[in-house]
Amino acid sequence: MRCSSISPASKPNCRLWLICVLSIWALNADAKIVLTVPHEVSLSPNTHTQQLSMSWLGGDAATFDVIILRTEFNETVFYDTVSATVNPMSGRHQWNWTSVEPLECTSLSIKIRSRDGQTTSEWSNTEILQGKDVPSEINFQMYPQDRIVPVGTNTTFCCIVEEGTEFAGMNYSSTVMKVKRLSRRTYASTVVNQKASGRTGTNVVCSSKYKQSLTGAVVFVGYPPQPTDFVCETYDLVSAVCRWKEGRNTYLHGKRVTRYSVNKRDCPKEGSNKCSFSQWDGNWTLVAVNPLGHSSLTDSAEISHRVCPVAPVDLGAVVHAWDATVMWKWTYKYSLPLVCQVELTNSGYNTKLIFTGVGLQSVVLSNLLPYEDYDLQVRCGAQKNFWKWGNWSDVFTFRTKSSAPDAPDVWMWMNRDNTGLVVWKPLTRLQSHGLIKRYKVTLCDPKEEQTCIKSLPPGTCSVPVNLTQLASFRSDNKVVATVTAENDAGVSQPAIIRLHLTDVEPPTLSRAVYTDNSFPLVWQHQANVTCSYVVEWHDATCSHDCHVEWIKVAAGSTNITVESDNFQPGVRYNFSLYSCPYDSPQKKQCWQGYMQELTPSRPVPLSVTQEGSSVVLTWGEIPLVDRRGFLLGYNVYSNNGFKLTLLANLSDPGARKFKVQGLSASSYKFTVKAYTSAGEDTGSTVSIMLERNIYQLILEMLLSLGGISIFLIIVTIICYKKRKWVKKAFYPDIPEPKLPGDWSRTQGPLNVKPSHHSLVHIVERPDQDSKEALVVIPEQDEDDDGYGIGDEPVDTDEPHSLRYYNHVVDERPIRPRFPDSSASSSSSMDSAHTDVTYTGIQTSGTSLVFQLDPQGSSEGHHPQVDQGVHCGAGGDYQPQMHPMASNIDTSLASPDPFLESQASNCGGYKPQNSWHLDSPTEACERSSLAPSLGSPTSVASTQFLLPDGEECGEEKRQLSSASTWFTNLLSSTKP
């Protein structure tokens, strides 16, 4: 721009500037030419590290472009600008490249050029690193071989198949790998995050087709060493032994195992983890090396601070009953103060004792037990600057000597017959102090100054005694028993017991409850008792020579916990507290208890008796041995064979009977179960057949008959007293008919002939057969038609009748009669021309029909069925009625007041009697068709329709007599 602004006079300056620019450009062109093309490229592969070292000659450039290609496929593996170092001696540039794949996998082509900024030289000639896949290498191969890698790394394997075959696949252990083809024959695959391999490594296998050949490699995946706890110590105050722990598992073994060295001295291979040195060196360095790395640990100490005495040897002892002296020897001489630990083991219990001393070689063990086996071990350490305990010596065993046994623990059991047992507890191993040879029991009788000694074998723990023969016992009950035990070492102190009776019952009997595997017993403190106690217990069911156990209780105690392995469930135990048991034993308190209550093992003995309509269940007591618990009561059940129904729960254990009331005559079963806190027993069952009391039944019958008789008598008396009324009510006088004139005297005898119209027709209706269907059918046709014949043709020769459906009623003539009729009436039945004729039928109290024949001829006969109609017609005959009779009829009670009132309202003739007693007679007369009644009939009844002539005859006689009696009775009441 400046040039453009200058004047033409300034053209020479512009030319100068242009020349300067061209000169500079020319100089730069000369500098580019200076970059040297790398040459004499040399390749140096390290197949183990997969590193390719390149060196070349190439001028002064500091940076170079490097390109690495897979030769066959011309694929770029690496292309970047690198800074190469220059070997000052040779002047060659050098650069290292690490390949992901093993360098053997395939051939690589390498080219290099110099770079200076953006300026680069020409590429060097291509250098080829021959792979193993070249045609000259025909074998089936895999790389890398025997690689050892840390856990978690990635490794690329390549497989070069044989010429003429085809790649089939690659497996890492049992896993199929994904492969990438690197060249015509080479396939590669990368395993990532590898896990630790087994002892024989991890197999990587490549297979080919057709030939089914295999090749492969083994890779070992593990960890570098990491030892711990490296320490050195001395056993003999001269030499040194260094130890360590391997630490983390390296998973490498055999050729690849970790090798250790201490202070550059190799240590034994696998396993021991220690190095020994003949002289102490204050500073120690452990180096652990394996193919994956190395590790080092150091330790430094003065020898006096690392003393670890060896185990004592040749142990021996001088043994007594209660103590022993134990001695030992040292492999090395220790002139320093030692602290030693003695471990004593006796019957599974061990005790550690500490002893000190300079070069300690013996100790005295006291407080041992006689005749006991002891196991002993000793170990020691430096008392000053204690480092650690040395090793335990071998076990040394010894047995202490015997000693006189302890006095036995003695007690007694006295029966009520002054015999008994002196008992003692067998001496335990710790009390025996040796093998017990015998027990001696001595009974002293001070009165007679004689002594009875009994020697008993070791297993004995009781001896029977009989005090009745001892004078002292007879006088003041002072007999003393002494028991001693004897072993090889001597005789025990005597155990003395004063024998006494135990039948003095204590003031109270409490209940002991088994808790926490024991019976806790508590009693009041007794100020007057200054001596000790004994608590004894035994099976409550035992009464003679019982197995008794006991425990001593210190003076002043107010409770004790009784434990025993002999306690059994379901057994009642008696516990007794004795004060001053060995001088003047006195029973202070008693308890009873069960370790565990069970249900009774035996049911109650049950019986049953009947008391009228009640049943009394009675049962006995369950024997104590079978109760197995404190009885709480009884449950009474009704047992129907399938189910128990609780009748009563008797919470009184003393209950022995139960009454079941209000039972009817039947068969019953009852079950009674006693129960404890554990539940019911199996129960006793009784059965009973409850029968009615025959005497009671007879009594009831007699009472009933008596009552009826009294009632009848009262009725009779009342009837008698009221006979007038009765007569009027039931048997009124029949007034004499008053006729004009005295025709009656001249008139001949009445020829009473039964009317043919006084019949009842019984019509049987086949479709109805029940009595309820009995219906009175009035022959209204005849009524409606007056004297004519209705629509239904009626045979006028037939008597007017009442028809009953479905029931046979006799067709007898209903005859009125007078009970006290005159002789004229006897033949009235033969005449149909009676002036007054009453006929009717009374059927079971349902209907009362009067059939009137006022004309006395069949032609003028009109059936009168319906009373209403009958009454409406006014009746042809109006008997003279006593006015009072009508009143009585309406006022007195009647079995059928309705019918009676109808009869009254009709205002017709009221019969004097309507008893049915006549009916059978009539029935029978009807059946015989003997129209013998000739007198006017006041009442007719058809209540008894007995077809049997004989029965009728018989009943006729009976009724005749009854009616006669009653007639007489009534007649006697007539004025």
Partner 1 sequence: MAEQEEQPLTASGTPTSGPSRTGRAVALARLLHSECTDLLRLYKERETFLSNHTPDGGRMVSLSPEVEEPSAEEQVQLLHSALRQCLGLLHCVILKEEEEWGQLEGDYETMKKTVRARLEHLLFSTKDLVETEGTTLEVTPDHQCNEEVDGAGGVFSLKMWTYRVLLELIHWADHAAQTLHVLHKEREGTGEI
In order, the DSSP letters of 815-834 are ----TT--GGGGGGGG-B--
Query: Among 166, 270, 448, 476, which residue interacts with partner 1 (rule: CB under 8 A)?
Result: 270
| 201 scored as a contact of partner 1 (CB under 8 A) | yes
Q: Which residue type occupies 90? A: S
Nearest residue to 562 via CA among 607, 531, 586, 594: 594
Query: Among 216, 600, 778, 879, which residue interacts with partner 1 (rule: CB under 8 A)?
Result: 216
Ranges assigned E (strand) in 853-933: none
Choices 247-255, 625-633, 654-662, 699-707; region in contact with partner 1 by CB under 8 A: 247-255
**CB 271, min distance to partner 1, A:** 9
Beta bridge partners of 499: 479
d(CA 801, CA 809): 11
Beta bridge partners of 437: none
Site for partner 1 in 98-117 (CB under 8 A): none
- Cβ distance 324 to 365 under 8 Å? yes
**CB 212, min distance to partner 1, A:** 8
CA neighbours within 13 Å on the CB side: how many for 122?
Answer: 7
| 967 scored as a contact of partner 1 (CB under 8 A) | no
Supply 666's token pair.
């039947």
| 203 scored as a contact of partner 1 (CB under 8 A) | yes
| 253 scored as a contact of partner 1 (CB under 8 A) | yes
| 548 scored as a contact of partner 1 (CB under 8 A) | no
Supply 304's token pair.
């006096």
Query: Among 37, 86, 168, 218, which residue interacts with partner 1 (rule: CB under 8 A)?
Result: 218
When the beta carbons of 110 and 161 are compared against partner 1, the nearer one is 161
d(CA 502, CA 486): 30
**CB 267, min distance to partner 1, A:** 16
Counting every residue written for the chain, the total comes to 975
d(CA 629, CA 623): 11
d(CA 114, CA 49): 27
**CB 270, min distance to partner 1, A:** 6
d(CA 361, CA 340): 9
Number of residues that bind partner 1 (CB under 8 A): 24
When the beta carbons of 87 and 272 are compared against partner 1, the nearer one is 272
Choices 142-150, 161-169, 188-196, 484-492; region in contact with partner 1 by CB under 8 A: 142-150
- Characterise 348 by phi-psi region: left (phi > 0), alpha (psi -120 to 50), beta (else): left
In three-state secondary structure terms, 155 is strand
When the beta carbons of 207 and 842 are compared against partner 1, the nearer one is 207
Query: Among 213, 431, 601, 855, which residue interacts with partner 1 (rule: CB under 8 A)?
Result: 213
What kind and span of H or E run contains 881? none
Query: Among 19, 100, 214, 646, which residue interacts with partner 1 (rule: CB under 8 A)?
Result: 214
Binding string to partner 1 for residues 112 to 141, with x set by CB under 8 A, is what?
-----------------------------x
Query: Among 165, 171, 226, 518, which residue interacts with partner 1 (rule: CB under 8 A)?
Result: 171
Query: Among 28, 44, 46, 200, which residue interacts with partner 1 (rule: CB under 8 A)?
Result: 200
Residue 760 has a CB neighbour count (10 Å cut-off) of 24
When the beta carbons of 213 and 345 are compared against partner 1, the nearer one is 213
In order, the DSSP letters of 284-295 are EEEEEEETTEEE
| 291 scored as a contact of partner 1 (CB under 8 A) | no
- Cβ distance 814 to 839 under 8 Å? yes
Query: Among 145, 273, 325, 824, which residue interacts with partner 1 (rule: CB under 8 A)?
Result: 145
Task: Name residues whose C-beta falls within 8 Å of residue 901's C-beta, 6 or more positions apart in sequence.
Answer: 890
When the beta carbons of 241 and 257 are compared against partner 1, the nearer one is 257
| 142 scored as a contact of partner 1 (CB under 8 A) | yes
| 2 scored as a contact of partner 1 (CB under 8 A) | no
| 177 scored as a contact of partner 1 (CB under 8 A) | no
Beta bridge partners of 592: 511, 574
Query: Among 69, 191, 205, 562, which residue interacts with partner 1 (rule: CB under 8 A)?
Result: 205
| 268 scored as a contact of partner 1 (CB under 8 A) | no
d(CA 590, CA 578): 9
d(CA 755, CA 934): 11
When the beta carbons of 200 and 677 are compared against partner 1, the nearer one is 200
Helix residue ranges per DSSP H, 722-856: 723-730, 743-746, 780-784
| 146 scored as a contact of partner 1 (CB under 8 A) | yes
When the beta carbons of 173 and 526 are compared against partner 1, the nearer one is 173
Query: Among 181, 211, 259, 916, which residue interacts with partner 1 (rule: CB under 8 A)?
Result: 211
Task: Summarize as ranges the residues that interact with partner 1 (CB under 8 A).
Answer: 141-142, 145-146, 171, 174, 199-201, 203, 205, 211-218, 253-255, 257, 270
